[in-house]
Amino acid sequence: MSMEEQYDTQIRNYREEIRRLSGRRNMDCSATKTLPSEILSSIFREFVNGHRSGPGPKCLPVTHVCQLWRAVALNEPRLWSDLAGLSSNWLGECEKRSKAAPLKIRYVGYRGISDDGEPESDQSTFALSNSSQCPWVESSAISTKAQKVLDPLFGQPNRLGQLHIEACKDDLISRLDAPAPYLSTLNVGRVDIPEGFLGGIAPRLHSVSIRVSCVSLGASWLNNVQRLSLCRWKIAGDGNASGIVSSLAGLTQLEFLSMTFPENLTALGSIVDKVTLPKLKTAQFCFSDSQLGLVSVFDHISCPNLRRLSINWPSGFNDIPVASQVAQFFSRNCDFTPESLRRGAWFDASRIELSSKEAESVPVHEDSDLPRLLFRNYRPLFVRDFLHEAFPGIHIRYYRLVSGGVVLEDLPGVEELSLCDTGPTFGLLLDGSPVFPTLRRVRLEQVSLRPKAQTFPKLKKWLKAQKMLEKLTIVKGYAFTEKDVQALEKIVKVVEVV
């Protein structure tokens, strides 16, 4: 053995000894050594809820800490049950270690073109920020080797806990024809759901997302669903709206519904009975130009606990009667009179939101019982044109305009006005602005005064016209010099620079 080989051998031995001593130290000196294995298992399960940092299972780092932790982890099947995103080298081993624990599986075939021959597009999916949960999470295709490992599991629906299946062969999904007692989450994309799916029995299934697929909403396996997202889908059977309404009758546990109307919807049909969704709190609907007549569906649906309604109109929408009909639906089902209006958003200038004052401090993507009515692609219409029938005597007290608006609507009763990120249109905004006789507070956030020689005099003139104005707050007012602020203090009682 050469001298180099002798040193290399010693180095390897030292490394092994260091690893062994580190494991002994972690086990003998850790405060967790007295914890029962059941407690350690619970801690480990919380640990694996995070994001995977590599191709191996999430619990893998735990097994390298010490022999005690390794033994506990290897004897906890639930730690090895997440097969989604694993490399093909780990899939088989984790499936064995999971024993009888419900599995989390992601099976995505070739991602090419959609079933109708057109490239996939999310234009029909409305602003994800309207919801606390995204309707769909994009996934990359799995390898052929991984498919071979996962294929046999489709013959065991009783092993499924969470399933994301997309662009698979029809004969694969048709094998899911037996009850799935532990399935809690289902995402299906670009593959039609057959009759007899899951044997019609999935008692723990609470969250379902369907995309570019054909499905029957009357299927019994949907009976306990609480969250349902339907995007670019097709309804099985007779393609009319009456079929959708009657199918919704069985979804009595539904709390969240996000839906684009089916692509094969042909007619409204005759609807006799009114459907009640007793637990529905959040509803999101997306209309195309040809589907605006379907808003009459809302006349046949009752949602006594509705707290949030989001509508994505087609681009350039300006139909006041249709908007009024939707607003009346919300008014009938939610004991709420809007007092806060927000037009535009940092990411979407076409957005309009009506809510209570309290809701302004709660991000729109968070779950909340505070009522909200949201429209998107609602560009040219004034809210007063469609709200007076739904909310007689309405007074908007808090008015917020964000991101590039060029018109301030004349709304009676406004007490607080916020103008945010108006860009180069600030001068035009002031030119066309009405006088607000009840306005007491104004907030300017990141407004532009360019060209300042013309815009700043317009601002002073506009502030003087608001006779009840008590306070002006300037946030991130980089365009305002100290001299400008002093000039404004001569007009408004209190000027605050934040």
Q: What's the burial of 140, exposed, middle or buried (CB within 10 Å: 0-12/13-18/19+)?
A: exposed
For residues 150 and 274, state if they share a domain. no
For residues 251 and 312, state if they share a domain. yes
Would you give the distance in Å from CA 222 to the centre of its chain? 21
Amino acid at 468: M
| pLDDT tens-place string over residues 9-47 | 888 888 888 878 887 787 788 778 888 889 999 989 888
* Token reading at 188: 């299906």
| pLDDT tens-place string over residues 431-482 | 889 999 999 999 999 998 888 999 999 999 999 999 999 999 999 988 899 9
Q: Concatenate the DSSP letters of all residues of 280-315 into one string.
A: --EEEEE--GGGGGGGGGGGGEE-TT--EEEEEPPT
Among 214, 212, 223, 283, smallest CA distance to 248 is for: 223
- The CA-based diameter of the chain, rounded to the nearest angstrom, is 97
Give CA–CA dist 487/480, Å, rounded: 10
For residues 420 and 470, state if they share a domain. yes
For residues 60 and 93, state if they share a domain. no
Among 227, 155, 233, smallest CA distance to 193 is for: 233
Among 372, 334, 337, smallest CA distance to 351 is for: 372
For residues 179 and 152, state if they share a domain. yes
- The C-alpha angle 366, 371, 372, rounded to 5 degrees, equals 75
Residue 486 gets the label, from left (phi > 0), alpha (psi -120 to 50) or beta, of: alpha
Place of tokens 């599986």: 105
Among 129, 126, 125, 133, smallest CA distance to 363 is for: 129
Any domain includes 199: yes
Phi, psi of 25 (to 5 degrees): -60, -45
For residues 327 and 421, state if they share a domain. no
For residues 172 and 242, state if they share a domain. no
Phi, psi of 388 (to 5 degrees): -65, -30
- Beta-bridge mates of residue 207: 185, 227
Give CA–CA dist 360/372, Å, rounded: 10
Low-confidence ranges of the chain (pLDDT < 70): 50-53, 110-139, 237-239, 266-272, 360-367, 378-381, 404-406
User: Strands 308-312, 340-343: parallel, antiparallel or unpaired by DSSP?
Assistant: unpaired
Q: 3-state class of 101 per DSSP?
A: coil
Residue range(s) defining the domain that contains residue 105: 81-111+137-211
Predicted local distance difference test score (pLDDT) of residue 136: 45
Any domain includes 189: yes
Predicted local distance difference test score (pLDDT) of residue 270: 67
Predicted local distance difference test score (pLDDT) of residue 378: 67
Predicted local distance difference test score (pLDDT) of residue 269: 64
Among 207, 263, 200, 256, smallest CA distance to 236 is for: 263
pTM of the shown model: 0.85
Residue 314 DSSP one-character state: P
Residue 333 vs residues 179, 256, 304: alpha-carbon distances, Å: 36, 15, 5
Q: 3-state class of 164 per DSSP?
A: strand
Any domain includes 11: no
For residues 244 and 380, state if they share a domain. yes
Any domain includes 434: yes
Predicted local distance difference test score (pLDDT) of residue 194: 92
Spell out the alpha helix ranges (H) of 86-217. 88-97, 144-150, 170-173
Q: 3-state class of 82 per DSSP?
A: strand
For residues 288 and 372, state if they share a domain. yes
For residues 201 and 144, state if they share a domain. yes
Q: 3-state class of 473 per DSSP?
A: strand
Predicted local distance difference test score (pLDDT) of residue 209: 96
Among 198, 243, 241, smallest CA distance to 216 is for: 243
Among 239, 230, 224, smallest CA distance to 258 is for: 230
Give CA–CA dist 195/118, Å, rounded: 27
Give CA–CA dist 402/412, Å, rounded: 20
User: Strands 340-343, 352-355: parallel, antiparallel or unpaired by DSSP?
Assistant: antiparallel
- Angle, helices 37-47 vs 67-74, to 10°: value is 80
Predicted local distance difference test score (pLDDT) of residue 119: 39
* Token reading at 92: 């088989």
Q: Count CB atoms within 10 A of the CB of residue 64.
A: 13
Our count of domains for the chain comes to 4
Question: Is the Cβ–Cβ distance between 478 and 447 less than 8 Å?
Answer: no
Any domain includes 226: no
For residues 331 and 410, state if they share a domain. no
For residues 319 and 430, state if they share a domain. no
